[in-house]
Amino acid sequence: MEKSKFLDLTAKYANETEPFAELINLKGQVAVVTGGAGTLGYLISRRLLEAGASVVLTDINEERGAYAEESLISLCGKNVIFKKGDITKTEDMDAVMNFAVEKYGRLDICVHSAAYWSYYPTLGISDEEWNYTIDTVLTGTMIACRSAAKVMKELGNGGKIVPILSDASINCEPPLGVLDHYAAAKAGARGFARSFAREVKQYGINVNMMLAGAMNTIGARFLNVKGMENPETRAKMAHTNMPMSNTPDDMARVVFMLCTKISDFMYGADVIVDGGAHINLGKE
């Protein structure tokens, strides 16, 4: 092969693309992170702030929202603020996205991390528990993503939307048989997000999903433990061989990548970060 051909189709690309540091530079960009008062939302916010973005944290829990805001200010500086919002309410999510624009002038990124889960077999779950899970995990994903995309479309600068899903949306997540409602809601959210990615591509918006595996978070340890009082469920949990992330930044840094120019050519992608659970890797 002639050298010029090689250079044309290979080395030339290197000259046409931005340096890596620019691809991950979020200076001047504005992000909203739902579930920002939970562990993963907090850690994602920290990475976005480190890269120069301004961040609006939103969550239904004001007390932890205030902790998260204070802690992130001391860690990363002042460009972060908490605003209460319920992901199941369109008026709340619209208000949060508009607040980001009023406060920081733009909206470029929305990471949707807020969720709820509990541990019940389908033969033992109440309709109320089923409906609450579907409302928060499935409908809440649609509402948060729709509110973000409406504002991004209006502003005309494109954007990145990253719903946090779960490997439960593609696998039956152990402990077997007590997360059917959550698996159904996350699978529905995945179906929505893949389809929505097609709809909003025309506005320069990339929607890509991070499918998380088990993480040691305040949600897993303290907030979402309904049903765990059942000894059978506790025994199943104790014996599960799922890989567990004890540093959920494992997931946060991949979500960060999906919020940057690195993901410019990605649409509707499933990015699985589960320690290999989907290929049946177990605990170390």
Ligand X SMILES: NC(=O)c1ccc[n+]([C@@H]2O[C@H](COP(=O)([O-])OP(=O)(O)OC[C@H]3O[C@@H](n4cnc5c(N)ncnc54)[C@H](O)[C@@H]3O)[C@@H](O)[C@H]2O)c1
Decide: is 212 part of the binding site for ligand X (CB under 6 A). yes
Cβ–Cβ < 8 Å for 242, 283: yes
Name every residue whose Cβ is closer than 8 Å to that of residue 135 and which is 6 or more positions away in sequence: 88
Indicate the residue type of 201: K
Please pick, from the candidates 24, 33, 35, 79, the single residue that binds ligand X as defined by CB under 6 A. Answer: 35
Only segment of 1-9, 10-18, 72-80, 108-116 that touches ligand X (CB under 6 A): 108-116
Q: How far is the CB of 210 from ligand X (least distance, A)?
A: 8
Indicate the residue type of 185: A
Cα 210 to Cα 152: distance, rounded to the nearest angstrom: 21
Only segment of 7-15, 48-56, 107-115, 150-158 that touches ligand X (CB under 6 A): 107-115
Cβ–Cβ < 8 Å for 191, 236: no
Name every residue whose Cβ is closer than 8 Å to that of residue 99 and which is 6 or more positions away in sequence: 56, 83
Tell me, by CB under 6 A, how many residues bind ligand X.
Answer: 30
Q: How far is the CB of 35 from ligand X (least distance, A)?
A: 3
Please pick, from the candidates 24, 26, 38, 110, the single residue that binds ligand X as defined by CB under 6 A. Answer: 38
Decide: is 220 part of the binding site for ligand X (CB under 6 A). yes
Cβ–Cβ < 8 Å for 71, 96: no
Dihedral angle of Cα 32, 271, 117, 175, to the nearest 10 degrees: -160
Q: How far is the CB of 251 from ligand X (least distance, A)?
A: 7
Q: What are φ and ψ of residue 15, in 5° steps? A: -75, -25
Range 262-266 contact pairs with CB under 8 angstroms and sequence separation of 24 or more? 262/23, 262/24, 263/160, 263/206, 263/208, 264/206, 266/206, 266/208
Q: Which is nearer to ligand X, 37 or 53 (CB)?
A: 37
Decide: is 166 part of the binding site for ligand X (CB under 6 A). yes
Only segment of 31-39, 152-160, 192-200, 263-271 that touches ligand X (CB under 6 A): 31-39
Indicate the residue type of 258: L
Only segment of 58-66, 73-81, 265-273, 276-284 that touches ligand X (CB under 6 A): 58-66
Helix axes 62-76, 39-50, angle to 10 degrees: 30
Cα 178 to Cα 255: distance, rounded to the nearest angstrom: 27
User: Angle at Cα 84 formed by Cα 249 and Cα 158, nearest 5°?
Assistant: 65
Decide: is 44 part of the binding site for ligand X (CB under 6 A). no
Decide: is 45 part of the binding site for ligand X (CB under 6 A). no
Only segment of 17-25, 97-105, 211-219, 261-269 that touches ligand X (CB under 6 A): 211-219
Listed in sequence order, the DSSP H helices in 59-179 are 62-76, 90-104, 127-133, 140-155
Sketch the per residue contact string, 130 through 149, with ligand X: x for CB under 6 A, - otherwise.
------x---x---------
Please pick, from the candidates 24, 76, 87, 209, the single residue that binds ligand X as defined by CB under 6 A. Answer: 87
Q: How far is the CB of 140 from ligand X (least distance, A)?
A: 6
Q: How far is the CB of 266 from ligand X (least distance, A)?
A: 19
Decide: is 116 part of the binding site for ligand X (CB under 6 A). yes
Footprint on this chain of ligand X (rule: CB under 6 A): 35, 37-41, 59-61, 64, 86-88, 113-116, 136, 140, 164, 166, 212, 214-215, 217-220, 223-224
